[in-house]
Structure 1
Amino acid sequence: MTLTGLTVLLTREVRDNGPLKARIIELGGQVVESPLISIQHVSDNLIEEAWFRLRKERLEGSLTLRGIAVTSANALAAAEHLLGSEEEGFFSPCFVVGERTARAAAQMGLKAIHPEGVKNALGLAAYLCTKAVMLGTYARTSSTAYTEQPRNNWLLWLRGQMADEAFRSELERHGWIVDDIVCYETILREVSQSAWAQVSRAPRVAVVFYSPSAVQAFVKSSVVHEDPLTEVPMFIAVGETTKVALLKNGLGPNVAALSPTIEGVLDAIVQVNERSSFA
């Protein structure tokens, strides 16, 4: 297994690339780094103010919080102060997307529920809709039947500014009451000119994306548009949601890592490098 002759452009923060970068170089590949997004947390005070306003309104309406939904580990990190401000268990269960988010929630003492097979926010919405009876959100009319109208189905969604609103829409379509708190903003960054210059000289290129926002930043990059590659690069998505973003923007050929781990991403890189149409 070798990556000789392949240049891999990593698009997340440099501090997060160390182990993967080392493995790529160990296999003979070259690594170029150009972070495409920055995360800016909303202030603790603004997050708390939003929460206490929502809490007052909903409790006055006799709604019971059924849990929180978190579709990004960044939201958990930004809202950590809030999550520790209530009595233990108040924000549980915590329904999450992604293993990384599940681990972060568990480390904060939350009862993390990461449904098997759920890979994106819409998948989580579908899970919550089908599990409504289990969650106690439907009123029982007899020993075996439930009414179709949900009750006390209040969910708090901790999210980023650019989160897909389809998550809320799908839940509300099924009768849920979804309140959200925007915990962080995603700042799109330009592709580094020096990084792109290195990529432009490479005979074969793979670009690794960790989020749909990074894909958006890449597509909007003036550096990329002004100096297009002569050879079509291979695009690698760390997760299905990011692969969907690649497809929507016509970036291909592409492949999604089977798992959002170092080995999962590395396997995807090796896979694309070995393809006869690419190598």
Structure 2
Amino acid sequence: MQQDQLEEIKNGKGFIAALDQSGGSTPKALAAYGVSEDAYSNEDEMFELVHEMRTRIITSPAFDSEKILGAILFEQTMDSKIEGKYTADYLADVKGIVPFLKVDKGLAEESNGVQLMKPIHDLDETLKRANERHIFGTKMRSVIKEANPEGIKAVVDQQFEIGKKIIAAGLVPIIEPEVDINSPEKEKCEELLKAEIKAQLDNLSDDQPVMLKLSIPTETNLYKELIEHPKVVRVVALSGGYSTEVANEKLKQNDGLIASFSRALSQDLNVNQSDKEFNDTLAEAVESIYQASI
């Protein structure tokens, strides 16, 4: 792991941009960007179009290290190039932004009120490639829908078990047990989740740093203890389906929590905008999320 990048993520001012829509969510992301499904006839063409969208975002003057600390990439994006450089190198060398990689393979069927991650059979190979591509850290997502203690424990156990393998490979894992913002038991889920995460953190050694990516809690500053935990590099928040405005408002109320938004960052961008319109729209979103994060 790069020490200067670790310092930047730990102490820098700004937020982490999530540009990691995967196979399942890419059609939705493209549709929101104004590219309909009849614009591509297979998966390769679809990924090419989404890489064009991400390239436009990353190369925009509005996408810079003054306000953006890191960016989470999808596997195809990591293996694609921007202006002749692999995406992570372009982010780090040209933009001064720390690159992360989404490593999960999606969600398993719901059981005990949660969705665990599907098995990641090629994790070792992916981590090897991530190191070759100069990736700093990884991200993996599970979902919690009910305040089921057994289910929530299973989610956190799985996240940390895989997280330790990621640390052993020299990368910093972003542990993401998302609590569904529409869960009628959201607050109770968050209390159970916090206790499980705290227990896992207390068992990590000093050379096992992790990051956490959590839904913005119902109870303000619920995660303060996790944010201040010595094993935690940073705690970032997902927008979870909230609009940019609502997510920003909720984020502002939580000290030390910074954004890692996906939809909220790109919701107003469109393929048909002129470069000026596109850059101005992105700059506005970046500024609002930055202000909420600091």
Length-normalised TM-score, structure 2:
0.27
Which structure features the higher share of helix residues?
A: 2
Question: What is the TM-score of this pair, normalised by structure 1?
Answer: 0.28
Structure 1 or 2, whichever has the larger Rg, is: 1
